[in-house]
Structure 1
Amino acid sequence: MTQPMRLAKYLGHAGICSRRQASRLIDEGKVSVNGQPANHIDHVTKADHILVEGKKVTGPAPKVLYAYNKPVGIDCKLKANAPDSLIHHLPSGERVYPIGRLDKDSRGLLLLTNDGELCQRLIHPDHHVEKEYWVEVERPLDDTFCQTMASGVPIDGQLTLPCEVSLLTSTRFKIVLKQGLNRQIRKMAKFCGYRVIDLYRVRIAGFELDSSELGEDQYHAITQSKLKLD
C-alpha cells in the first residue's frame, strides 16, 4: 500500500501546483478530500478522492519543465477571468505553473513546471539559487550606487542580503540575487534614489535566456540538467 503523504506535498508531486500554492488553495477552501473540505494536516494516498477547484486529482503526472520569455504586461497570477493572466499563455494540454514570479511590469526568463519538488528547491530561501537581472533606470547612475546596492539596503522592514551588482552602461546595471522579496529590485533602486524603467531577468541558476532563440511570449521544453543545480 502507498504510504500516506501530507496533502500539500501530494499535490506538488501530482503536478497540480507548488506546495506553497497548495497551502493557499487549502486555505481558500478550494481543495476537498473524500467529499470534505481539506485540512493542512490531511495525509492522503492515490486511493483518496481529491478535488482541486472541482477537478479530480489523478496522481503524479510526468514531470515537465519549460523556459518562457515573459513580455511586459502579463500577470503571473493564474486567473482564468483575467485577460492579462499568464494562464492564457501556458503550454496547452498540460497543467504547469510558474516557479516564482516576475511582476507585471518586468520581462524575461520564467520557468514553468508541474514538478513541485523542483519548484521547492528553486524558490526556498535556504537554497540560495541565483537569479540574474539586467536593469535600466531613468537617469545616469552615480559612483556609489553599485556598492550601496551590493551591501544590502532596507526595504519592507528588513535588510536585503549582500548581492552582486555591476554597471552595464551609465543607466543600466546587472544584479544577481539569491533571495526573492516582493518587487525587491525596484524597491532597492528606489531607496538609492532611482526609478526602474526596465527590468529583464536573464538567468535562473545555470540556465540563461537566449532571446535570439526564444522570442517574447514563446516557450520551449528544457531538461532539469540545464539548470546546473548542485
Structure 2
Amino acid sequence: MSTDLPSWQESKLGTMKRTALWLVQVVGEGNVFTKNQLREAFPSVSQIDRRMRDLRDFKWKIHTNREDVNLGPDEQRFVQRGEPVWEPGRGTRPKSSITVSQRRELLAQYGYKCSSCGAAPGDTYTDAEVTAQLDVARREVVQPDGSKVAQLVIECNRCRVGGNKSDFDLPALIAQATSLPEIELSILRAWIEGGSRTFSTIETVWARYRALPFESQEAFRSSLG
C-alpha cells in the first residue's frame, strides 16, 4: 500500500474517493478485478458501481467487456489512474456534468445512435463480439467568429475509447463541403436530409472484406482472380 496516500478504508472520505484509493492501493493499474471484489470491499454501499463510474468524470479509465473483449461479464480492468480525487479541493463533480433529462434529450436528438459511426445500443461491431453502448462526449468546435465552444454529442463506447479529441473547425468544414463538385454536394445533402449515410454495394463489400480473417481475405482475393 502507498504510504503517501490516505487509506482507502478511511471512513471520513467520500465513497468515490475511497473507491479511487482502493483501485490504486489494492487493485493496481493494469489489473483486473470483479464486481464481487468491489462489493465485498464496500459492503455497506448500495450503489458502489455508480461511484466507480463517477471516476470517469475525473479522467480515470476503467474498462468493462464492452471496451475489452478479453474481460468476462463480471470483470473490469483498472486501466489508468486519473486526477487525485482524494486531495483537498479535488473530486468535486464538474459543473458541466449533464443531468439525466439532458442526456435523454441528447439521445433523442441523435436518434439513439452514435454521432461518429451510427451504432445503436446493442449493435454488435462487425469485427468483434462487443455490443455498442451510448454515452455523452464533449467536443471543442471552432465557431464562425473564431471562438471555441464545448458542445455535447452522443458517442458509442468504441468511438469514446478511440478518443476523438481533435478540435472541429466549423468554418473550414463548411468551406470544404461547398467546394465539392455539385454531384457530390447533392449526395452530401441527401445524407444530411436523411440523417444517415447510404453505402454503395462496393463500399459494403469492402467493409465486409476488411472484417474477414486473414485466411478468408486471401480466399476472397483469389476468387476475384
Give the TM-score normalised by the residue count of structure 1: 0.26
Instruction: Compare the two structures and name the one with the higher helix fraction.
Output: 2
Instruction: Compare the two structures and name the one with the higher strand fraction.
Output: 1
Higher relative contact order (CA 8 A, sep 6+): 1
Give the TM-score normalised by the residue count of structure 2: 0.26
